Amino acid sequence: MNKYLITYDLKNINRNYDSLYLAIKGLGAWWHYLDSAWIVKTNMNSIQIWNILAHHITTIDRMLIIKIDSYDKWGWLPQDAWDWLNS
């Protein structure tokens, strides 16, 4: 299974983005320790992920979906975040 970083700037202050969060959670195992960043484990590719999530944002929002190499990482996170990333 691959890991993908999904990060965004949600700019429509009048929109409820709960459906986006549910769609991200539905992609597979997920990690969400940073406000606008998720990591998901999935067999999908970035285009397939985009095709699912695009329906939940507007054209003024921004989103990046990128496959990550979880072997080369560093930062300041709680231990359970590192445990998930290393699994």
pTM assigned to the model = 0.88
- Topology of the domain comprising 2-86: Alpha-Beta Plaits (3.30.70)
What does the alpha-carbon distance between residue 61 and residue 73 come to, in Å, rounded to a whole number?
Answer: 27
The pLDDT tens digits for 29-76 are 999 999 999 999 999 999 999 999 999 999 999 999 999 986 788 899
pLDDT at 85 over 90: no
> What is the reported pLDDT for 52?
98
Residue 32 per-residue DSSP state = E
Domain boundaries, given as residue ranges, for the chain: 2-86
Cβ-contact 67, 56 below 8 angstroms: no
> What is the reported pLDDT for 19?
97
Q: How many helices (H) and strands (E) are present in the chain, helices listed first?
A: 3, 4
Which burial class, exposed, middle or buried, applies to 71 when counting CB atoms under 10 A from its CB (0-12, 13-18, 19+)? exposed
